[in-house]
Structure formats: C-alpha cells, structure tokens
Amino acid sequence: MSIPSLPPPNKRLGQNFLIDPNIVRKIVALAELSSNGHVLEIGPGRGILTEALSRAAGHVTAIEVDPRLHAYLNTKQAELPNVELVCDDALAYPVENLPMGTVVVANLPYYISTPLLFRLLDQRGRFPRMVLMLQDEVADRLVAQPGGSDYGVLSVMAQYAADITKAFRVSAQCFRPRPDVASAVVRLGMKDRTRLSAKEEVTLRALVKAAFAHRRKTLVNSLRDEGYELHPVIETLKRLDIAPTRRAETLSVEEFLQLALALD
Ligand code: SAM
C-alpha cells in the first residue's frame, strides 16, 4: 500500500495547522485530561494536537471531514493507538452517542465555529469541559458582557450554559498557512445545573434570538417585529422592572432568564 503524502491545505475547510508545540501543550494542560478519560477532537488535521491528546487521555474520537487528511492520519495510526479516526462532517456526526464526561478539545475550523459551538452546547450534559481555539472575535463574543456590540445571542446562550474564560491569544505565526484573523483559546466549564427546563430553554433561545434580531430597536419593538404580542411583553417587562425602552444588548443573562421564565 502506498503511503499518502501530506496533502496541501484546503483554505475552504479552514485548514490552518498549528505548528507550535508550546501552544499544543498549553491547550492540553487547560483541558485537565485524565489517563482514562474520553476526548472529542474536531478537525485533527495533520494530527499535532491529536498526538498530544492521545498521550494525555484514555481514548480520543477525532472527526475529520477531509478524506485526504483522514487517509494521512490513518498511516500514523501506530502513533495514535487509542484514537478512533472518523471521516465525517462534525456538524452531522452524532455527538450524542459519545460517552458522558467526554472533554472536547479542538482547534476548530473557523468557518463553522459558531454552529459547532451551538451544537456542542446543545449536548453539554455530556461534555463537562471544552477547550477550543477560535477566532479571537468569536472568543470575545463568548465572554462579552452587556452593553457592547460583541454581546449577542452567542454570549447569552453560552454564558447561560457555561463559565467561560478566554485563556490566551494565539499569534498567526503559530499556524501554517497563517490565518487572516487573530485566534484565541477559550475554556468552557459547563455549569452543573442550569435553571431552566428543556421547554423553558427553547423559550429562552427563541426570545434571545428575537430580541437581538433588530439590535438598533428597543427590546419591545424587536420582539414585536418577530411576532411577539406587544401587550403581554410590556406587562411582563413592567413586572420584572425592565424598562421597555431598553435594547437587547443592555439585558443581563439573568434578566433574559427571568423574562423567558415569565413568558413561557
Ligand atoms: N487540529 C489541527 C491543528 O491544530 O493543526 C487542524 C486544525 S484546522 C484549524 C481545522 C481542521 O478541521 C482541518 O483539518 C479541517 O479539514 C477540519 N474540518 C473542516 N471542516 C470540518 C467539518 N465540518 N467537520 C470536521 N472537520 C472539519
């Protein structure tokens, strides 16, 4: 059998490969892995992080969409004895079948980092921690506080589910090819208990989406434009002591929770 050579990077698939072993070490340290634990890696690429994860954890599931890289990694299986290499789109892969307690560690493909984040957060009962490399701009949105333009649906939904820290920025020089955007590593520690039932969470998500759908408008007008009945919304806001003239970006996560509970 001929050994596939290292395929050239495909920009469309967000292939900016880490080349700095020090960054790999810092990512793995943040993940606090145990020698019998399970890890999910999305986008193993050429395997620099996968090899370190393989040494630090008991089992790694590594999902790579590019069949060329999957074939390349298969030739390195001897160095990755406890890694299950899966060739699939991470957005379609049934992460709900992974063992409870799986830690997610990944240098994400940036072009789908937001839908991937929502998908992982949906299954957060399974994932106690995630250590993720993202665009710096997405990292800022994850940790954003009310009042600024970074604060939006992702901030509210992620902070509702997890305690999030932006751990460190990563220079473009640490990748080949170099990405056009700045990068950062974030750690999400899932909250043991969230306050809403599954049904109330659906209400929260719809509410937050509708509230931010028209960022420049007041909360009430944005919700009205998204099909909410004006009267009950205004009454509820009054009861919660939230001025109807406020805009969505000024509401704290707690205020969104109170509003979702009241409107459910
Ligand atoms: N982990 C490697 C590293 O740190 O060098 C590669 C990271 S690179 C930023 C992102 C990787 O995700 C690429 O290998 C790319 O092919 C893969 N990828 C892109 N889209 C994907 C998808 N939908 N599902 C799974 N992997 C994907």
What average pLDDT does this structure show over 234-243? 95
Pairing of strands 183-190, 162-170: antiparallel
Nearest CA to ligand 1 atom 1: 44
DSSP 186-198: EEEEE-S--SS-H
Ligand 1 atom 14 nearest Cα: 45
What's the CA angle centered on 189, arms 184 and 190, to 5 degrees? 130
Which ligand 1 atom is nearest residue 109's CA? 10
pLDDT greater than 60 at residue 34? yes
Q: What angle do CA 180, 186, 192 make, to 5 degrees?
A: 150
| Residue 47 DSSP symbol | S
Which domains does the chain possess? 11-190 (3.40.50.150), 198-263 (1.10.8.100)
Here the tokens at position 196 are 């809403």
What's the 13 CA to ligand 1 centre distance in angstroms? 7
Bridge partner residues of 116 (DSSP): none
**pLDDT band at residue 5 under the 50/70/90 scheme:** confident
Average confidence (pLDDT) over 224-251: 95
Placement of tokens 């290292």 in the chain: 6
Nearest-atom index, ligand 1, CA of 44: 1
* Both tokens assigned to 78: 């001897």
Average pLDDT, the chain: 95
CA 156 to chain centre: 13
pLDDT digits (tens, 9 = 90+) for 104-156: 999 999 999 999 999 999 999 999 999 999 999 999 999 999 999 999 999 99
Flag whether pLDDT at 2 surpasses 70: no
Given a cut of 60, whether residue 1 has pLDDT beyond it is: no
* Residue 99 clears pLDDT 60, i.e. is over it: yes
Q: How far apart are the first and last CA of the chain?
A: 60
Q: What's this model's pTM, rounded to 2 decimal places?
A: 0.95
Ligand 1 centroid to Cα of residue 263, in Å, is: 40
Q: What integer is the mean pLDDT of 214-238?
A: 95
The H-assigned helical ranges of 1-135 are: 21-31, 48-56, 67-74, 113-122
